Amino acid sequence: MLRNCYFLVLAAAAAAGQQGRPDPAFEKIPFEEWLKGGGEARFRWSLRMDRAVLDAHQRLATAVVVQVDGAEFAKRNKPGRLVVFVEIRDQENRVYRSHRTLLTAEVKKPGDLATLNFEQHAFITPGDYRVAAAVYDAASKEHSLKRIKVRVPELPRDPLPEAWRDLPSVELLGGADPPDRWYLPEVGSRLHLPVKTERPVRIDVVVNESPTETAEGRTGRVSRRDMGNLVPALKVISQLEIDDGSMNVTLLDLERRKVSFTQEEVGTLDWTRLRAALVENDPDRIDVHALENHEQNAQFFVSEIRKRLGDPARVLIVLSAPMAFSGGQDLRPIEAEPGRHVFYICYYPPLQVVPGEARQDDIGHHGRVVPSPVPHASVVGTPVEDSLARTLKPLAPRMFNVRSPMEFRNALAAIMNEISQPK
């Protein structure tokens, strides 16, 4: 009979080790001796590193994946017996280590397990790496070690080729729930994003954190799944290195018609306050009184944008998911003269690949031709209305409709270049 395959309930045995901070658990085992070979037990398991892909934080993201045959765990059915140790060495021989104890607390019959899967997620830069992992039985002292070599290629046609120059080659990531998973507070390294200007400039970044409303009304609105793109995008934008100027950040809660977070002269985003604002403004806990006069939500957005349109030295960047307001909204556009630097980044849900007829290209959002990554497949996107673009139209903003981290990277490069140009 086929057995089910479960993902592990993982217990972190220690914090992930980084350069200069090796995982102390490795001091308790002869890992260096294991690397030399010999004395290995016969465990059934596998090791691989996933292909590195650009993620919403504008980093190359990967994972070291260890899969242990369920029968191995069934033979050692005691908590804490099996431990996975992972080591990544870069081409400069710098070492990054972590470990986890394997637990299956939610599985009543360990013998029914097909595999136990452990993933150590990481940000990584292009280069050559040696990955080693060991499965260790803490009771019997048995171990089994595997090694692989991995090459992480450069990003093709990278519009920001110097962005990763000051980053560590590997940054190990821990597990977290939203909103920490959106921001990754454990990652304190910064991208290299210089913006050189001929005169002082002030950048105002306005983020719409409200959940999307649908034409069917308020009961049809979705949760804040878009924040998984918007919060990383905000963190990236906040790392712009402005040669002569400053940056202010504002979060707007259109449902409650309030400014939920603001920070001036941003050097590093104040995650403690930003996190508190995101938790407080959970759309599933909105007060009934906040829903009154919701037809004014769009005009609240317009009024807040108008406040940030001062002198021509100001640059405005609006970051939002597409916003389709319910009926009855006052969608009058903003009353202002064009001529300022205004950018609107609208982060749409990703396109879906649908099996179908043999077509290599399909028309995607806003008429774009999208190459299909799978032969005999169509790339489609659900049409999503965006009402915010209508309210900004008199400002003649530079529009960026993005659906992927690479499209956002291209948009960011274009914005940096335009800000740097003399007006």
Q: Which of 153, 172, 191 is the last residue of a domain?
A: 172
Between CA 275 and CA 115 the distance in angstroms is 36
- The 8-class DSSP code of residue 226 comes to T
The reply to whether 200 and 238 lie within a common domain is: yes
Both tokens assigned to 295: 């037809």
Least confident range from 48-57, 105-114, 200-209: namely: 105-114
Structural domain contains residue 1: no
Structural domain contains residue 58: yes
The reply to whether 92 and 43 lie within a common domain is: yes
Least confident range from 66-75, 182-191, 367-376: namely: 367-376
The domain tally of the chain equals: 2
Structural domain contains residue 357: no
The reply to whether 235 and 142 lie within a common domain is: no
18 confidence band (pLDDT: 50, 70, 90)? very low
Look up the CATH number of the domain holding residue 27. Answer: 2.60.40.2550
Give residue-wise pLDDT tens across range 38-83: 889 888 999 999 999 999 999 999 999 999 998 887 777 665 688 9
Structural domain contains residue 220: yes
Structural domain contains residue 361: no
The reply to whether 79 and 201 lie within a common domain is: no
Look up the CATH number of the domain holding residue 281. Answer: 3.40.50
Structural domain contains residue 288: yes
The reply to whether 272 and 198 lie within a common domain is: yes
Give residue-wise pLDDT tens across range 155-164: 999 999 999 9
The domain of 414 spans: 180-349+384-420
Highest mean pLDDT among 34-43, 325-334, 357-366, 377-386: 34-43
The reply to whether 138 and 221 lie within a common domain is: no
Q: Which of 172, 206, 230 is the last residue of a domain?
A: 172
142 has a pLDDT exceeding 70: yes
The reply to whether 203 and 165 lie within a common domain is: no
The reply to whether 403 and 256 lie within a common domain is: yes
The reply to whether 12 and 110 lie within a common domain is: yes
Between CA 335 and CA 273 the distance in angstroms is 32
| Mean pLDDT estimate for the chain | 82
The reply to whether 43 and 124 lie within a common domain is: yes
Structural domain contains residue 379: no
The reply to whether 247 and 339 lie within a common domain is: yes
The reply to whether 395 and 292 lie within a common domain is: yes
* DSSP class per residue in 276-345: HHHHHT-GGG--GGGGTTGGGHHHHHHHHHHHT--STTEEEEEEE----PPTT---PPP---S-SEEEEE
- What is the reported pLDDT for 214? 44
* DSSP class per residue in 78-113: STT-EEEEEEEE-TT--EEEEEEEEE-TT-S-GGG-
Q: What is the percent of the chain where pLDDT is above 90?
A: 55
360 has a pLDDT exceeding 50: no
Structural domain contains residue 374: no
Q: Which of 172, 204, 237 is the last residue of a domain?
A: 172
